[in-house]
Structure 1
Amino acid sequence: MASARGVRLVQKVSSTRAFGRIAPHVVPVLDRAVHRLTRGKVLLSARMLPGLVLTVPGARTGRPRTTPLACMPEGDVEGSWILVGSNFGRPGHPAWTANLLARGDEAVISWRGRDIPVRATLLEGEERERAWRAALAFWPPYAAYQRRLERQIRLFRLDRR
């Protein structure tokens, strides 16, 4: 993991609108390439935040869609993760969130080199508020993303199937 100073710098940079415009085109491409080259053992972005690779059938096509994502592991035992649909602070919901809404029972994650079948649940109400507070403590730039948006950022809990 990076130093505290490095993390603060990345948090500051990732809170900017410029990062929000550029990162969606660069970060996932690099993550997919490194993940493929290391046979699922390394995600480049996971040097700053824990990360996983989500595969879920597309909401319309049913074809597998693979997306590298930052995640927030829950608890001490691997088996539950929170995903934040921030889309780097851009206006629309990320496509992977629609796929989870439609086919969340068919999702699989690659976590630390292992494929794990998961079930996705959209968090709402008080459960969402608790997870949102935890997400803000975990990665403060999410607050800057939410301030720029009219939509509410979707939060999902992934549990092992």
Structure 2
Amino acid sequence: MQESQIAQVIEPILADRGLELDRLDVTPIGKRSVLRVTVDGDGPDGRGPLLDDIAAASAAISAALDESPAVGKAPYTLEVSSRGVAKPLVEPKHYRRNTGRLVKLWLGDEQLVGRIVDVVDDAVTVDVDGVERVIVTGTIDKAVVQVEMNRAFEDEEEN
């Protein structure tokens, strides 16, 4: 199984559903292969794909791969998931999809924790302790969303 051939089967299916292929890994395990498909997309609220969209894409991908010469008769296990919160933010679209979320940024020797306020082109505006900083994404060594357990409850109490 070649990843490039499998990607050619998968990408149009995802595009039809407003999703994109973020990563494809094919791992042989004994006589089987595990196909790990990681998807991303804006979703209806601009914050990433919905679980129902991923499930529908998974079913369509499975059906297409079963008929595709890219897989043939080789047994495989298909795993389809979203990027998840733990994946580093790399491209401007990753920052845009996480607007409003708390992130930890590594800029050379400096580490910042702040909330993404806005993203324009390749610049992200982050509120760090009440001060907005505009940072070009290409200067960020690493950025990871910080999970906030209490924020959802605080937002609900305000409503």
Bigger relative contact order (CA 8 A; separation at least 6): 1
Q: TM-score, normalised by structure 2?
A: 0.27
After TM superposition, the score normalised by the length of structure 1 is 0.27
Q: Which has the larger radius of gyration?
A: 2
